[in-house]
Amino acid sequence: MALNRYRLKHLRKKYRGARKAYKLLKRPDRLIGIILIGNNLVNILASAIATVIALRLYGDAGIFVATILLTLAVLIFSEVTPKTVAALHPEGIAFTASHILKPLLILFYPAVWIVNHVSNGLLRIFGINTKNRQDFGLSKDEIRTVVDVSSQKIPEHQGMLINILDLETVSVNDIMVPRKEIVGLNLEDDIESLLTTIINCGYTRLPVFHGDINNIEGFLHMKNVTRLLRSGGEGLTKEAIKRFSREPYFVPENTPLNKQLLNFRQVRRRIGLVVDEYGEVEGLVTMEDILEEIVGDFTTNKAEDEQEEIVELENRTFEIDGTATIRDINKANNWDLPTDGPKTINGLVLEHLENIPDGNVTFTIGHYRFETLELKNKRVKKIRVRSLLINNSSEDADEEDED
């Protein structure tokens, strides 16, 4: 009963004893029946023999002597010691015992059938359905615990497995590129400006639009640009850009990442525009953004190279760009800033202040001290944040484990 069911499924491919143990555990009522029949037969027989011997040696007082001595002997040699060994080494004991229990189950099947039939009948009287089997499937939280426990065996994959489990709790608007940061081709610009954007953008796909991103024409892939830039760029025209652009793909802002990853695969797309409930474009999301949530950052762009969003100044104090997302800040610093509201640190500050400050201010949210450093264009551009809490949770957990 102490066997790990999932490990047993794996080991049954290698060991005959594991296969027998797996079959026995498929009908635990029969397994318990044959074990308890043998257990009780031996205990009752030992009790009868000990009583007879004690009566002959000590008379009527022998009943008390036999009871005390047999209880100690049974507890030490038949219960506590062997069951402790079995609990510590369930596989070795179970695989060996299965070779004995299987023939005994066949030999004493009539007795097991009678015992189980009567026992199951009594359980049904009390409303217990014996046909229901225990579900050994693991929930997401249980799988997370298994991954944490197995961290030393899968150090390279632990983080990715945890991130995969978290995909359904994160939506595309948590990882999207905000609308104001989208680099695209505005067809109202002149050809020279469009050519400059294409050459300097550093991206594989660019949105093509008229005046505003909501008037989207499609996405232009850079592999098609070589067809347009022949003869020194003479083939680059606005009509050509529109013709080589692929129709846009839209993503609802609250779509979970695990669902969107499947959607990208289904429609064979790698980029989409995130829209709100009114159809307004809120940002842009790519398949690479979702994959980076699993494996971590594996691509770079110029914006990231030019400036770090989170810079550590001293112990537990950081200078943070206003556009940095709260999720990234929490992940980088192991913090717990609220994520159920604004997505960026700028939004969190403005929500807390309930106005746009005229100058730099200092305030506290939870156990974090905030100090605005730079205000520009009605938003917080730079802010200093200090954690007022020393995190000893891991040390406390270690101390509890040791206790």
Q: Please tell me the predicted confidence (pLDDT) of residue 363.
A: 93
List all residues 6 or more positions away from 11 whose beta carbon is below 8 Å from its beta carbon: 18, 91
pLDDT digits (tens, 9 = 90+) for 72-85: 988 898 889 988 88
Mean pLDDT of the residues in the chain: 84
pLDDT digits (tens, 9 = 90+) for 383-401: 999 998 865 444 444 444 4
pLDDT value at 300 more than 60: no
pLDDT value at 209 more than 90: yes
Question: Environment class of residue 306 by beta-carbon count within 10 Å: exposed (0-12), middle (13-18) or buried (19+)?
Answer: exposed
Mean pLDDT of 211-227: 89
250 and 273 Cβ atoms separated by less than 8 Å = yes
The most confident of 60-74, 106-120, 159-173, 179-193, by mean pLDDT: 179-193
pLDDT value at 1 more than 80: no
CA-CA distance, 123 to 204, in Å (whole number)?
66
Which residue ranges does the chain devote to CATH 3.10.580.10? 167-296
Beta strands in 305-361 (DSSP E): 310-314, 317-321
CA-CA distance, 331 to 329, in Å (whole number)?
5
Tokens of 225: 């640009």
pLDDT value at 305 more than 50: no
**Pick from 239, 204, 197: nearest CA to 224:** 204
* DSSP string covering 3-71: S-HHHHHHHTTT-HHHHHHHHHHHSHHHHHHHHHHHHHHHHHHHHHHHHHHHHHHHGGGHHHHHHHHHH
Which CATH class name applies to 167-296?
A: alpha beta
Which residue ranges does the chain devote to CATH 3.30.465.10? 307-387
Q: Which residue has the higher pLDDT, 146 or 249?
A: 249
Fold classification of 307-387 is 3.30.465
What backbone phi and psi angles, to 5 degrees, belong to 58? -120, 0
**What is the phi-psi region of residue 7: left when phi exceeds 0, alpha when psi lies from -120 to 50, beta otherwise?**
alpha
Local confidence band at 402 (pLDDT 50, 70, 90 cut-offs): very low
Q: In the 8-state DSSP scheme, what is residue 332?
A: H
pLDDT value at 219 more than 60: yes
pLDDT digits (tens, 9 = 90+) for 151-180: 777 777 788 888 888 888 889 988 898 898
